[in-house]
Amino acid sequence: MTRTWRPPVAWGLLVPGLAVLLFAYAAPMLWVLRMAFNRFIGGGGIEITFTVDSFADVFTDPYYLRVAWTTVKLGLLVSVVTVIVAYPLSLFLVRTTSRFRGLLTILAIAPMLVSSVARTYGWMVVLGNQGLLNSVLKGLGLTDTPVQLANQFSGVVIALVQIFLPYAVLAMTSGFGRLDDTLEQAAASLGAGRITRFLRVTLPLTLPGVLTGLLLVFVLSISAYVTPRLIGGGRVFVLASEIYDQATNQLNWPLAAALSLVLVVVFGVAVTVFGLLQRRVERWVSGR
């Protein structure tokens, strides 16, 4: 077997990208990995050694296990709710023949233009005890005592769903691209009503896009820091905020590093599971 000879210059083109990855990604990750095995000796002191103390802390302290579980639960809940909300919108954007389709798509993803910090503060205004939502509910006489949403898990979920909605719409509209109208028409001609058509044709064929949306929002949610921190109001603890707290407030870098690695593992598991699922589903709906 002969191989095409590639001039060295082709490999040379990879150097800038590889260099950036190496210095901005691989090196810090290795540094974090190494740091996780050092010992914290209080007051910001770190002993360079090789111990699994930090990991022992993470896996034995019920507090950290709860934080990890809260993070995963938040990721699952936010990704599922976001995809359910984004699905009809994405389907509409893909299907519409309106000449405003481009404009509508831009409108749907326009919230991305506002930083998630600003949007989080917006949600604090809306969800707070004296906030817009509670004022309206009170004004309508629906409730006397304010509905607790701020400083709550539920408030974090609501805010994150809105913040990640555009990402889900983007992922899903591109995933729905090959949806072919004639398939639904064929199903209709064979006697399938609206609901059957959706369940037996549209939904299966849009599953790859749904999975992409789920994975994207899950990954974004479990790494979200600002929104859980601000809307959680010191009552909702997730891995990202815990890492920040350990690193900057407690100066316990080994523990922060260990928690970071836990988050990386959660990422890895999610990406692998979704990747396998995605491959199967892609094969299934492509008819091969």
Name the residues that contact another protein, by CB under 8 A. Answer: 180, 182-183, 185-193, 196-197, 200-201, 204-205, 284-288
Q: Which is nearer to another protein, 201 or 230 (CB)?
A: 201
Q: Which is nearer to another protein, 145 or 189 (CB)?
A: 189
Both tokens of 174, joined, read 């591109």
> What is d(CA 61, CA 57) in angstroms, rounded to the nearest whole number?
6
Q: Which is nearer to another protein, 3 or 288 (CB)?
A: 288
Residue 247 CB, shortest distance to another protein, in Å, is 47
**Which residue type does 55 have?**
F
Residue 95 CB, shortest distance to another protein, in Å, is 15
Q: Which is nearer to another protein, 147 or 192 (CB)?
A: 192
> What is d(CA 10, CA 247) in angstroms, rounded to the nearest whole number?
42
Inter-residue contact 252 to 40 (CB < 8 Å): yes
Residue 271 CB, shortest distance to another protein, in Å, is 24
Angle (CA) 66 67 69, round 5°: 65
Both tokens of 254, joined, read 């080994």
Residue 280 CB, shortest distance to another protein, in Å, is 12
Within the chain, strands assigned E span 39-40, 46-47
Residue 178 CB, shortest distance to another protein, in Å, is 10
Q: Which is nearer to another protein, 17 or 287 (CB)?
A: 287
Main-chain phi, psi angles of 147, to 5 degrees: -75, 125
